[in-house]
């Protein structure tokens, strides 16, 4: 039976038998509650009952709400204000509101949060169309002391067993929540997470709405900050959840670390991938992490969406000023010696293509001269040669590293400890990739992931025609581009000590079919060789990736990279240095697990993915640190391009 509290009625107006009841538990939020109620009044859906249940507040909350209901609530809004006879806690207070409801749907709105005007309308429309779902939730804009989006993932039992990513700001069918006996009283929080776990056990589902429909206030006085993530409380919560639901996979909590916002797997200790990161009742982040270059949440009125900020200098003007300032500063510095010969057979203007493909002899000489001038001023322009990176060390020397020259030969044999993972967005390129494997290698371990049934059927046909009988093809969600399937699925097919080759069907249509194909083939030509496979005869090697002539900096990804680096226990250098540009590489599974662990609290961005500034681009820059953290050596591999 649903546990509720005895109440006194302070104010009531209108018939509560409406399509939706908005249930607002209230405790000592007199200074915020009017903003919250105003966003309920501004909803495009008018068939609403507002039920506010005060949980024995000691401030002016009751007075503020009663006055608002009498003087400011619109006529169409049915209202009731109740007060618990004694403090009962969040779960019981919500249940008390449910017991008062006469609506088909209940929407739970905490007293410090806000709704966008079409929030309830869109939830109702979605649930009316999906009778197989007992509730619905949307993406939230977190504002206040943090600015980001949270709650981006679909409802999934395998994700929820590792931690919560769904806020209580959710619409549920009243009969379903009554059947489940409402929210279970849990000291210090997580009552919403516990309910989602019971939904899973009852084989019920929540519908995810991929829109930003409400606002989650992040502030120091929230229950999450004051109770949930404090000292012993987090230990008690873990213990309670594990006793109630033994199938969950939460790790030992760390009270010193802020609660993680989870994507799926919650490992953050790369040295021990079996350990999972502390789950929390915090929700999932999508973008605009603290410290990122994204703007903070815009201020919002009580009844409207965020207003536009005042116009400032144009982005182009700001960029121009920064560039001119940088050039002026460089001109005052003495030039650095360029102590390496620029290898023009290797170094290309773009996408690792040879100079001869694009330029004449004279143009090549002029370009080399310009590159030398830029390097002498310390501008990271282009990597001079394989194994030499244009970024400088503290003593002024170029970064130097091992770069293996790949023989021009296909892969003839694969050890049993090697898994080839191909993420296939373009099935026709799968056929191109498989041509790099001949003879005994055809019988090796292949895992192909793809995101649509059409692609799946095409790939199955290609694999059979090419004679790769042992290859396994699986259908995965379209999440995280190629890295999501690698970290969320492919590494589960590998055992300790295995090496995974991760490649994907790159076309880069945005830069044109010619450059895209040249870039793709240059990566495959270095990586999909017997030389690369045999390099792992060295047990110390943990990461191998194609060398590149293009140095890439932190860019808009710095804040993501800093968060990953913290989990590895080091600070970012001035430049990331060599990296697997294009995210194709060989990596020992221990290195992959380290990266999975360090990024588990960072959800994949929604499609369409920006050109830069996401966790995907950050991961591309952090493979070498992941390898070093896992305790292995790394190297690059290159194959000289042929002019054509």
- The confidence score (pLDDT) of residue 510 equals 54
Sort 303 into a burial class: Cβ within 10 Å, 0-12 / 13-18 / 19+.
middle
Nearest to 621 by CA among 554, 573, 563: 554
Long-range CB contacts (within 8 A, 24+) of 246-251: 247/161, 248/160, 248/161, 248/162, 248/197, 248/279, 249/161, 249/162, 249/276, 250/162, 250/163, 250/276, 250/278, 250/279, 251/275, 251/276, 251/277, 251/278, 251/279
CATH of domain 418-638: 3.90.550
Q: Which of 149, 152, 140, 250 is nearest to 193 (CA)?
A: 250
User: How much is the pTM?
Assistant: 0.53
Residue 477, C-beta contacts closer than 8 angstroms, at least 6 positions apart: 154, 451, 484
Every domain of the chain with CATH number 3.90.550.10 lies at: 7-244
Separation of alpha carbons 170 and 138, rounded Å: 8
Average pLDDT per block of 10 residues along the chain, 644 residues long = 92 96 96 95 96 95 96 96 94 96 97 93 93 92 77 85 90 95 83 93 91 81 46 68 84 46 28 30 33 31 37 58 67 79 66 55 76 81 88 86 93 96 94 96 96 92 92 91 94 94 81 66 92 97 93 91 94 93 96 96 88 93 97 93 48
Could you give the 3-state DSSP secondary structure of residue 116?
Answer: coil
Tracing tokens 């030969």 back to the chain, one arrives at 409
pLDDT value of position 367: 75
pLDDT at 232: 56
Of 250, 32, 261, the C-alpha closest to 146 is 261
d(CA 550, CA 350): 8
Q: What is the pLDDT of residue 10?
A: 96
Class of the domain covering 7-244: alpha beta
- Angstrom CA distances, 581 to 409, 547, 594, 617, stand at 22, 8, 19, 9
Phi and psi of 586, rounded to 5°?
-105, 135
Per-residue pLDDT at 243:
82
DSSP per residue, 458-519: HHHHHHHHHT-TT-EEEE--S-STTHHHHHHTGGGG--TT-EEEEEE----GGG-HHHHHHH
d(CA 193, CA 280): 9
Report the pLDDT value the prediction gives residue 219, as an integer from 0 to 100.
58
Strand order in the sheet with 472-475: 403-405, 633-638, 541-546, 585-588, 499-504, 418-423, 445-450, 472-475
137 DSSP β-pair partners: 208
Please work out, in degrees rounded to the nearest 5, the angle formed at the alpha carbon of residue 214 by the alpha carbons of 609 and 111.
145
Rounded Cα–Cα distance for residues 325 and 520 (Å): 37
pLDDT score, position 288: 30
> Do residues 547 and 578 lie in contact, with contact meaning Cβ atoms separated by under 8 Å?
yes
Residue 38 host element (H or E):
helix 33-41
Residue with tokens 């003593």: 395
CA 23 to chain centre: 31
pLDDT of residue 324: 62
Question: Residue 95: exposed, middle, or buried by beta-carbon count in 10 A (0-12, 13-18, 19+)?
Answer: buried
Q: Could you tell me if 590 and 533 are in contact, meaning their C-beta atoms sit under 8 angstroms apart?
A: no
Q: Is the peptide bond before 608 cis (omega within 30 degrees of 0)?
A: yes
Q: Residue 253 has which token pair?
A: 């909590």
Find, among 22, 13, 72, the residue nearest to 46 by Cα. Answer: 22
């Amino acid at each position: 039976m649903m546990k509720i509290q005895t109440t006194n009625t302070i104010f009531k107006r209108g018939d509560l038998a409406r399509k939706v009841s908005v249930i607002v538990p209230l405790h000592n939020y007199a200074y915020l509650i009017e903003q919250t109620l105003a966003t309920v009044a501004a909803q495009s859906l008018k068939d609403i009952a507002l039920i506010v249940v005060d949980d024995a507040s000691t401030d002016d909350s009751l007075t503020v709400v009663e006055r608002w209901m009498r003087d400011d609530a619109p006529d169409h809004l049915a209202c009731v204000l109740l007060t618990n006879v004694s403090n009962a806690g969040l779960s019981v207070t919500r249940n008390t509101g449910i017991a008062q409801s006469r609506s088909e749907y209940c929407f739970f709105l905490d007293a410090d949060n806000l709704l966008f005007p079409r929030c309830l309308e869109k939830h109702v429309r979605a649930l009316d169309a999906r009778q197989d779902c007992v509730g619905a939730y949307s993406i939230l804009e977190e504002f206040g002391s943090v600015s980001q989006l949270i709650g981006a993932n679909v409802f999934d039992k395998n994700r929820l067993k590792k931690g919560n990513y769904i806020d209580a700001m959710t619409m549920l069918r009243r009969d379903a929540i009554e059947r489940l006996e409402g929210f279970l009283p849990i000291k210090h929080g997580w009552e919403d997470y516990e309910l989602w776990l019971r939904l899973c056990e009852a084989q019920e589902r929540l519908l995810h709405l991929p829109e930003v429909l409400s606002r989650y206030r992040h502030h120091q006085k929230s229950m999450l900050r004051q109770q949930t993530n404090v000292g012993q409380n987090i230990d008690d919560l873990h213990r309670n959840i594990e006793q109630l639901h033994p199938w969950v996979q939460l790790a030992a909590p760390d009270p010193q670390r802020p609660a993680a916002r989870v994507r799926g797997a919650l490992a953050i200790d790369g040295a021990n991938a079996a350990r999972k990161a502390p789950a929390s009742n915090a929700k999932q982040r999508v973008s605009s992490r603290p410290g990122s270059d994204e703007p903070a949440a815009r201020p919002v009125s009580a009844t409207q969406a965020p207003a536009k900020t005042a116009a400032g200098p144009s982005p182009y003007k700001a960029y121009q000023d920064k560039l001119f300032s940088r050039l002026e500063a460089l001109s005052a510095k003495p030039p650095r010696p360029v102590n390496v010969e620029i290898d023009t057979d290797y170094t290309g203007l773009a996408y690792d293509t040879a100079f001869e493909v694009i330029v004449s002899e004279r143009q090549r000489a002029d370009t080399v001269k310009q590159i030398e001038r830029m390097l002498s001023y310390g501008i990271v322009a282009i990597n001079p040669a394989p194994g030499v990176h244009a970024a400088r060390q503290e003593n002024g020397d170029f970064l130097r590293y091992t770069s293996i020259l790949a023989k021009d030969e296909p892969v003839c044999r694969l050890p049993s400890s090697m898994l080839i993972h191909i993420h296939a967005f373009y099935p026709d390129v799968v056929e191109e990739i498989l041509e790099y494997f001949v003879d005994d290698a055809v019988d090796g371990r292949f895992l192909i992931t793809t995101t649509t049934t059409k692609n799946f059927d095409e790939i199955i046909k290609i694999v059979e025609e090419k004679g790769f009988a042992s290859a396994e093809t699986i259908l995965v969600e379209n999440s995280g581009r190629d890295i999501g399937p690698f970290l969320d699925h492919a590494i589960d097919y590998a055992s300790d000590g295995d090496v995974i080759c991760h490649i994907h069907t790159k076309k880069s249509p945005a830069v044109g079919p010619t450059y895209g194909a040249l870039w793709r083939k240059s990566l495959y030509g270095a990586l999909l060789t017997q030389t690369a496979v045999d390099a792992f005869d060295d047990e110390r090697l943990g990461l191998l990736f194609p060398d590149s002539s293009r140095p890439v900096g932190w860019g808009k990804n710095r804040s993501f990279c800093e968060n990953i680096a913290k989990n590895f226990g080091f600070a970012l250098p001035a430049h990331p240095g060599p990296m697997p540009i294009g995210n194709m590489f060989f990596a020992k599974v221990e290195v992959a697990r380290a990266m999975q662990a360090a990024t588990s609290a960072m959800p994949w961005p929604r499609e369409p993915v920006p050109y830069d500034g996401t966790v995907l681009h950050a991961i591309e820059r952090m493979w070498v640190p992941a390898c070093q953290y896992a305790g292995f050596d790394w190297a690059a591999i290159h194959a000289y391009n042929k002019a054509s």
